[in-house]
Every structure is written in structure tokens, then in C-alpha cells.
């Protein structure tokens, strides 16, 4: 009973999301032409001026390490913290001999 | 018609949420988190597509073979942000697995209905 | 009790682990020219390390694993990333001073020695991801605190 109600509620949410993605009055898929210039001018700037300002021909690596390098610094910190926490949780601990 | 990329992404998110609510094994809950992550990444990347009239776009890399100064390219910003999000998903999974191993050692079973005692 | 896989798996692992390592090093170092970069290449080389752990068993892997060196290398990778970002601190924090003033790594765009501090950052992040993932995998495999 609970399980069926949950499945029906999730199907309702899926229907609402599919109505949001309708191409006429919702999310637009595949902009082009003048709409690209109006909504995505930052992408156009990075594609045009990426090589002469940074020097790498891979535009995505350009963005990740030079234009938005601050986010990569935050991500390196999260990686370090998660690995340190996981290794610290799986170490032999001195209280085990008291419990057994 | 709705593009099939959005339909797949929404289906993945809904299936992940259903598995997260109604399953009892701890490992299945962790796998459900990973499925929700995959659905969101697919949704973000497919929003960066670009369709000029008749010309198919290429990847945003100047390889020198077929990309001169005029070919339309796919938007590179969603790809850069999803790269960061994938690494953070892996970190969350590693920490959750370490906690699950410790919980199994203390309680002896992986059923979340039995993990109710908050003891020191 | 031996805990490694059979003879076929061990022979195939001996053949493919160096090839995976070379391919991962190519993906890391050509990050500014072809698809790839630091994070993707680091995960590929960690795949080679995990293949060694799975195919040859825990006893063989414990002989070649030294946790102090791996921990120090992970910290070194993070510090190298931060140091390369601080080189242009006279103008801004993440300023690409090696490319704009043509000090080092300044060739034609499209060759290997170009794009300022991008190759240095790729190597640092690749080292950090590889050592971090192998450390986490060995920590899970060496867990011995099961209650009897």
C-alpha cells in the first residue's frame, strides 16, 4: 500500500518534469543562430578567445584550469578531505582490545 | 517531441529516488545515490547542445583537422562543471563505503531497520 | 590459503598493466591538446594499480605498498598545484604569467611545451588523484577489525 502510493507519487513528479521539458514553452534543446548569441555569449567568448589568451587548444581544459581555476582548487580540497577521512576511519584502533 | 536525452535523465533520477526510499540494504542505498548523480550529469551536459541550420557541431577542441575558424562548436562550460561534480561524487561514495564497513562491524547486519540503537 | 586469481588472469595482467600505465601518462601529459587532463588520466593510472591488487592477491600487494610515501606524494601534488597558481601573485591569484610574459612553456599553440602553467597543473593533479585512489583501495583491503 505504501509502496504503491510512493510509486504513484514518483510517476506524478516524472509527468510534471516531462511537461517542463516541452520544447515550445519550456527547456530549449539545441539553441542556434541568434538565440545562441543572446543566451550563451560566455561560451562564444571562451571559444573565440581561448587560444590567444591561454594557449591550449583544448577549450575545456582551458576553462577548468585557467578561467575557472578557483573551482578546481575547491575540488582538490574536497578530494583530499574525503580520502583522508576514509583512510582514517579504516585504521586499527586501540580501544578494540578493551571491547573484546 | 521531447528530446530523448531529457527523458532518460528524468527516468534515471526518478528510479534513483525510488530505490533510495524503499530498499533496506545499505549497499543498495549507496548505489542509488550514484544513479541519481548520473542522471543529473546527463541532464546538465545535454543542455549545452547547439544546432545551427543544417550543420552538425563538433567537440570544442581545435584539432587542426576539420575545425577552422567557422565551424560551430558545442558549449564547453557545462562540461567543465560536470567534471568537477563527477570527482565529488566519487569522494562521497568512498566516505559512505568507509562508514558502512564500520557500521557492519558494530551491528553485524546491513539492514537499516535494525540499526536503531545509538550506543557509544 | 592463496587469494590470487588463476594463471590466465595473472598472465594477462602482466601484459596489460604497463600498457595501461603508458596510456594514462599520455592522457595526463597531453591534457592541453587532446581530450583528457589531470583527473581523467589519474583515474586511468589508478585502474592499473587496482588491477594489480585484484589479480595478484593481497600478500603480493602488501610487499610493495608503503603508506608513508603515498601519503607524502599526495600532499606534494596538492602543494605543487597551489604553488603553480601563486606564481603570478603580483597581478592576480590565478594569473597565467608564464604565457603572457613568455617566460617558460611558451611555444606555438598546438605543441607540447605551450599554454603556460597548464602542463604543471595537469601533472600535479594526476599524481594527487592516483595516490589518493590507491591509498583508499589499500585501506579497504587491509581492514582486519572484524568481530569474531
C74, C85, C109 ranked by CB distance to A55: nearest: C109
Q: B interface toward C at CB cutoff 8 Å?
A: 59, 61-64, 83, 86-87, 94, 97-98, 101, 105, 108
Task: Name which of B80, C113, C63 is nearest A60 in CA terms.
Answer: B80
Domains and CATH numbers, chain B: 4-107 (1.10.287)
- State the pTM of this model: 0.89
C82, C115, C142 ranked by CB distance to A55: nearest: C115
pLDDT of residue B9 exceeding 70, the answer is yes
| pLDDT at res. C131 | 95
CA distance A76 to A72: 6
CA distance A36 to C56: 54
C115, C125, C148 ranked by CB distance to A76: nearest: C125
ipTM of the complex: 0.88
Q: Looking at CA atoms only, how far is residue B109 from chain C in angstroms? A: 12
| pLDDT at res. B106 | 82
Q: Is C130 on the interface with A (CB under 8 A)?
A: no
pLDDT of residue B68 exceeding 90, the answer is no
| pLDDT at res. C68 | 93
Q: What is the pLDDT of residues B22-60, one digit of tens each?
A: 999 999 999 999 999 999 999 999 988 888 777 788 888
pLDDT of residue A100 exceeding 50, the answer is no
Helices (H), A21-55: 34-39, 41-53
CA distance C68 to A37: 53
Q: Is C123 on the interface with A (CB under 8 A)?
A: no
Cβ contact, residue pair C34, B87, below 8 Å: no
Amino acid at each position: 500500500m505504501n509502496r504503491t502510493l510512493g510509486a504513484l507519487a514518483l510517476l506524478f513528479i516524472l509527468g510534471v518534469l516531462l511537461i517542463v521539458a516541452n520544447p515550445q514553452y519550456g527547456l530549449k534543446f539545441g539553441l542556434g543562430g541568434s538565440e545562441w548569441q543572446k543566451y550563451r555569449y560566455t561560451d562564444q567568448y571562451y571559444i573565440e578567445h581561448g587560444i590567444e589568451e591561454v594557449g591550449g587548444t583544448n577549450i575545456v581544459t582551458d576553462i577548468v584550469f585557467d578561467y575557472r581555476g578557483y573551482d578546481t582548487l575547491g575540488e582538490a580540497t574536497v578530494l583530499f578531505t574525503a580520502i583522508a577521512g576514509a583512510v582514517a576511519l579504516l585504521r586499527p584502533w586501540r580501544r578494540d582490545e578493551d571491547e573484546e | 517531441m521531447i528530446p530523448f536525452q531529457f527523458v532518460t535523465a528524468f527516468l534515471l533520477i526518478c528510479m534513483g529516488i525510488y530505490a533510495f526510499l524503499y530498499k533496506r540494504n545499505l549497499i543498495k542505498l549507496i548505489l542509488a545515490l550514484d544513479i541519481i548523480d548520473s542522471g543529473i550529469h546527463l541532464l546538465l551536459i545535454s543542455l549545452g547542445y547547439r544546432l545551427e541550420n543544417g550543420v552538425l557541431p563538433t567537440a570544442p577542441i581545435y584539432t587542426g583537422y576539420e575545425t577552422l575558424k567557422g565551424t560551430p562548436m558545442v558549449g564547453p562550460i557545462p562540461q567543465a562543471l560536470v567534471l568537477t561534480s563527477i570527482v565529488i561524487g566519487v569522494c562521497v561514495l568512498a566516505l559512505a563505503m568507509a562508514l558502512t564497513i564500520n557500521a557492519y562491524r558494530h551491528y553485524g547486519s546491513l539492514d537499516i531497520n535494525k540499526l536503531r540503537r545509538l550506543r557509544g | 590459503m592463496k587469494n590470487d586469481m588463476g594463471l590466465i588472469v595473472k598472465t594477462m595482467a602482466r601484459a596489460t598493466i604497463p600498457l595501461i600505465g603508458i596510456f594514462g601518462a599520455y592522457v595526463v601529459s597531453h591534457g592541453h591538446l587532446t581530450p583528457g587532463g589531470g583527473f581523467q588520466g589519474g583515474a586511468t593510472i589508478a585502474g592499473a594499480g587496482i588491477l594489480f591488487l585484484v589479480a595478484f592477491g593481497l600478500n603480493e600487494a602488501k610487499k610493495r605498498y608503503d603508506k608513508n610515501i603515498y601519503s607524502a606524494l599526495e600532499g606534494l601534488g596538492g602543494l605543487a598545484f597551489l604553488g603553480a597558481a601563486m606564481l603570478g601573485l603580483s597581478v592576480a591569484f590565478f594569473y597565467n604569467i608564464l604565457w603572457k610574459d613568455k617566460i617558460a612553456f611558451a611555444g606555438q599553440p598546438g605543441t607540447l611545451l605551450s599554454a603556460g602553467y597548464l602542463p604543471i597543473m595537469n601533472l600535479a593533479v594526476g599524481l594527487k588523484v592516483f595516490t589518493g585512489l590507491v591509498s583508499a583501495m589499500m585501506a579497504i583491503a587491509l581492514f582486519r577489525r572484524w568481530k569474531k
